[in-house]
Structure 1
Amino acid sequence: MHKLYKVLSFTGILCLYSCGTYFNQPFSASPSRTGEFSASSKNLLDLPLALDPVEVAVYNFSDQTGQYKAIENGSTFSTAVTQGGTTMLIKALEDSGWFIPIERESLSNLSTERNIIRNTKQEYIKNLNPNEPPLPPLLYAGLLLEGGIISYDTNIVTGGLGARYFGIGGSAKYRQDRITVYLRAVSTSNGEILKTVYVSKTILSQALDASFFRFVKFQRLLEAETGITQNEPVQLAVKDAIEKAVRDLIIEGVKEKYWSAQGGVEVNEKLVADYQEEKSLDEATGLYERIFVDRPYKNNFSFSGGISLIDGDYSVNNPDYLARIEYQRSLTSHLNLGAALSIFKLNNENSFSGSFASLDLNTQLELLPRDDFSPYLYGGPGIAVELGDPEIASGQENLSSTFFKIQYGVGLQYLISPKFGFKLFAEHNILLNDEIDNLVNGKRDDYYFNIGIGFNYYFGLTTPKTSIE
């Protein structure tokens, strides 16, 4: 009975812990509510007031992807993205305060209604009141806004994690889609395309679940499960992308002096400067939220410290110090060539202890040469030389003082600027004999490990700095 109580308690905790699933279940119908803000709504609404709002017309801003919702066995006749892009764009233009939207999507309906008004005035009002003013003309737009939703990419990232042990398990899964919109401003006076902006937005779906499956006693099976799935609304993602596109178009127009904010040059310059900083970060961010950096410097010095650990013929291996200075030169964007000078100590406690210097020649392969966080592989030949007399067990002789070796390793580097970066590395040094600890035993040669942390200083600007592609 006590065991059953513990199982039920665990199941209850599991249900309560699973992301509050049972506290967020919709048990009743909800009333209508005002639509949600997107992540870009506040940035759009916080723009300074326009000096002179511009009349704009939007005839069509629609789904150009032609995609339908995907299901396990094919697709449905329901579209993958909303067909109301024009309405969303007009709402964003209105909210910005920089534009006066003019009805053009349903121009035929507007024209029909105006004809009805005009005929009514002519037939009935004109005879009764000759001074009745005529129907005012339609506003005309100085700008046309064109474009649309041009891409909806599904499953650009998928993954998950799960585990199960003794009937208890859980898993997490996620999927990321991506939507892209283009928006361009066209002058109605000459048809010139003044500006085009391009915005993308990811759409995240997540699923978490946990389960319990176990026999609590003979012929008594307890099974429990809980879970939650969360899908970011596609409509809200489209709204977010459109609102950011409108904001970007406004600031691009300010930058090109097509229009201006109230407050004059000072407000305009601050608006453009903040936008340029944001745009630089966006342009340096890759598809999978990877930050790209320029690497215009061909040379670097590296200073590192860490530990060395021998793995030789003695059973007791103690870590000891490592200090290293290294020079490298880039041959290509992926390939570096360098030399490293190290001073380290190998320590077998009372059996052997000695200090050494090594000179290593390495070829280094950068796996992600344009990322700010980049793994790398390296390897090459080297030589280690003993410094002074080693401390060895009594009765043993110093067998050699020079040792040839081969080393290889892996590392991670994080660039905080084009000139400075931090790195971590782990290295395996394979000696070509069995004599470094002054004991020859068995068929395997001695080797040792180096683990360290350091920083790189880059210099020697040999290529001009260019903007991020």
Structure 2
Amino acid sequence: MRKKAVGIIYLVIISVFISCGAYFNQPFTQKKARIGENTSPEFLAKKFLPAEKIIVGVYKFRDQTGQYKPVLNGSTFSTAVTQGGTTILLKSLEESGWFRPVERENIGNLLNERQIIRNTRQEYANGKKITMPPLLFAGTIIEGGVVSYDSNIITGGSGLRYFGAGVSNQYREDRITVYLRVVSTSTGEILKNVYVSKTILSQGISANLFRYVSLRRLLEVETGVTKNEPAQLAVKEAIDKAVDVLIVEGIVDGIWEPKGGDTAKYYVKKAYYKEQLESSKIKLYNRKQEERRGKFGVGTSMGMSKIVGDYINPTFQFGYDFKFKYRLDDPKFNFWVTLGKYELDNKSTFHESFITSAINFEYTFLPYEKLTPYMYAGIGSISRKNLEDSFFKFQGGLGLEYLLSNKIGLFVNGEYNMPITDNLDRQIVGNKNDLVWRFGAGINVYF
């Protein structure tokens, strides 16, 4: 009975905390057709319409990757990227509000139909002259394609299993890259060339229970859900963004003229340069490379200190210090100086206050991240409160800092001090020097 109760408890926990998400995402009923998703609501170019819409032709915009859809045990003959890139691009050009697309992908069909119309009208014209309106010609054509589809640029997951009950999650990220260029039909000059990348995320969570609840009674439960970002929507979003960037860069370079004149140009330039600056900080895997910590900084910390000396029963005692920090040209390396005070104590034997100073060289492992570990080492001195004795020391430590903002950071650290003396506790026994452990937490302010 006890095993059965445990199994039921596991089942309830899994059902409540894990599988409810899976059940809520199950398609229980058929869905009616709907209007397509709006993939790019933040068109910068849409804020200002053109002085005159641009007639543009698109002959082809194809998948140039030649890659097939990846599966667990190889690949299939289904392509990884949609083959309807031209259709998607024409839709994006229309939605931008800047272009008048003309039919060029199937120009043969259009010409055949115009010929049928002309022949039919001539047959029933009774000798009258038949004319048809001329076709629009494009002053520019847009070309390009999906040039890469990178599978599994990031994969990972986590899981936990205990006594036959387990949960796990997995994720995978792919990436597509789109190039787009606009060409003048008068001169053949490539007026502008841009590229945009977009990641495609796939996630899966699962939970299962496998347990004997009684003799010859096996309980097995499994549930889960997987979500895959549609590749077609990713391609549409990437093309939308490429069209937007094409228009904006054309405004910045004077290729296109927006309504609103210089005021509109100034707004677009300011917004685009801001976006460029943010984009330049983001490297592969969407890691934002930003110099978060200023050139100079000040900080303070409080903590506990403990002596390892010649007496027994050392205790932790309160201490504090202040520091001034200077960052070198490489943001991974810093110098800082400290001045502080702490007490050392052996129960019922020794208790005294000390003033300490130090110069440290610090290495920051992840200088562009909000949360980073760091290590440091340096030299300094430790003196009794009345400055009657001063001792040279080496110190080193490890720490962890988290930035609340680019100016304020919280940190914790542990430090190992090695004074060049065995007289720190006023007792010289043996040939080993006294040591001091310090642990603290504090705040840094950068400017």
Q: Please indicate the TM-score interval, normalised by the length of the shorter structure.
A: 0.7 to 0.9
Aligned-partner residue type, residue 415 of structure 2: H
Q: SS of the counterpart of 2:287?
A: coil
Shift of 1:331: 6.0
What is the CA deviation profile of residues 35-65 of structure 1, one whole-angstrom value per residue up to 9, with x for unaligned ones? 2222x24537953333311111111111111
Distance 2:139 2:269 in 1: 23
- Tell me whether 1:276 sits opposite 2:259 in the alignment: no
**1:424 aligned partner:** 411
Displacement of 1:378 in angstroms is 1.7
1:309 paired with 2:297, answer no
Indicate if the aligned counterparts of 2:313 and 2:347 stay in contact, CA closer than 8 A.
no
Deviation at 1:416, TM superposition (A): 4.6
Structure 1 pair 36–295 and aligned structure 2 pair: CA distance change class (3 A): closer
Q: CA deviation at 1:295?
A: 8.2
Alignment of 1:15-54 (within 5 A): 15-18=15-18, 19-38=20-39, 40-43=40-43, 47-54=47-54
Distance 1:17 1:295 in 2: 37
Over 3 Å counting, the alpha-carbon distance change for 1:339 and 1:239 in structure 2 is same
**Amino acid in structure 1 at the alignment position of 2:210:** F
Contact persistence 1:414–1:423 (CA under 8 A): yes
Q: Report what 1:378 is aligned to.
A: 376
Aligned to 1:455: 444
Equivalent pairs: percent with the same residue? 41
Describe the shift of the 1:439–1:140 C-alpha distance in structure 2 as closer, same or farther (beyond 3 A).
farther
Whole-Å separation in 2 of the counterparts to 1:351 and 1:82: 79
Aligned pair 1:260/2:249, yes or no? no
1:246 equivalenced with 2:243 (yes/no): yes
Residue in 2 that maps onto 1:75: 75
> 1:16·1:22 contact (CA, 8 Å) conserved in 2?
no
Instruction: Say if 1:308 and 1:320, in contact at 8 Å, map to a contact too.
Output: yes
Give the C-alpha shift of residue 109 in structure 1: 2.0
Change (3 A) 1:51 1:436: same
Structure 2: how far apart are the matches of 1:228 and 1:429?
A: 49
Which of 330, 339, 354 is 2:328 aligned to?
A: 330
For the aligned residue pairs, the C-alpha RMSD in angstroms reads 3.1
In the superposition, the TM-score normalised over structure 2's length comes to 0.87
Say if 2:147 and 2:177, in contact at 8 Å, map to a contact too: yes
AA paired with 1:447? V
Contact 1:373 1:415 in 2 (8 A): no
Cα deviation, 1:47-104, whole Å, max 9, x if unaligned, reads 3333311111111111111211122222111111111111111001111111001111
Please give the per-residue CA displacement for 1:168-224, whole angstroms capped at 9, x wherever unaligned. Answer: 221111111111112122222222222222211111111111122222222322221
The amino acid of 2:213's aligned partner reads V
| Greater alpha carbon shift after TM alignment, 378-387 vs 40-49 | 40-49
Letter in 2 for 1:96: S
Residue 34 to residue 377, structure 1, CA distance change in 2 (3 Å): same
- Determine the C-alpha separation between the residues in 2 that align with 1:349 and 1:152: 67
Change (3 A) 1:345 1:85: farther
Correspondent of 1:446 among 426, 435, 442 = 435
> Which residue number in structure 2 is paired with residue 392 of structure 1?
none
- Cα deviation, 1:296-320, whole Å, max 9, x if unaligned, reads 97x5343222213315355463351
Deviations 1:78-133 (A, max 9, x none): 111111111111001111111001111112222222233333344x134x25044x
> What is residue 364 of structure 1 aligned with on the other side?
362
User: Does 2:395 align with 1:406?
Assistant: yes
Contact 1:407–1:430 (CA under 8 A) maintained in structure 2: yes
CA distance 1:253–1:306, change in 2 (3 Å): same
Q: 1:285 aligns with which of 278, 282, 286?
A: 282
- For residues 57 and 355 of structure 1, the distance between their equivalents in structure 2, rounded to whole angstroms, comes to 82
Cα offsets for 1:248-283 (capped at 9, x unmatched): 222222222333333443344333322332232122
CA contact (8 A) 2:63 2:146 kept: yes
SS, match of residue 20 in structure 1: helix
Instruction: Judge conservation of contact 1:308–1:346 (CA < 8 Å) in 2.
Output: no
Q: 1-side partners of 2:228 and 2:175: how far apart?
A: 13
The corresponding residue for 2:124 is: 125
C-alpha deviations, 1:315-345, integer Å up to 9, x for none?
4633513122234352645434444333333
Distance 1:197 1:347 in 2: 67
Query: Partners in 1 of 2:330 and 2:3 — Cα distance?
Result: 65
Query: What is the correspondence of 1:38-117 to structure 2 with a 5 Å cutoff?
Result: 38=39, 40-43=40-43, 47-117=47-117
Q: For residues 296 and 328 of structure 1, do their structure 2 counterparts lie closer, same or farther at Cα, with a shift above 3 Å needed?
A: closer
8 Å contact 1:379–1:406 — kept in the other structure?
A: yes
Which AA in structure 2 matches 1:29? Q
Contact 1:324/1:343 (CA < 8 Å) preserved in 2? no
Residues 413 and 325 (structure 1), Cα distance of their counterparts in 2 relative to 1, 3 Å cut: same
Residue in structure 2 matched with residue 147 of structure 1 by the alignment: 144
Distance 1:331 1:267, change over 3 A: closer
Count of aligned pairs: 442
**1:461 alignment partner in structure 2:** none
Tell whether the 8 Å contact from 1:55 to 1:102 is kept in structure 2 after alignment: yes
Cα pair 2:10 2:165 within 8 Å, conserved: no
Q: Distance in 1 between matches of 2:149 and 2:175?
A: 6
Aligned partners of 1:159 and 1:221: how far apart in 2?
Answer: 31
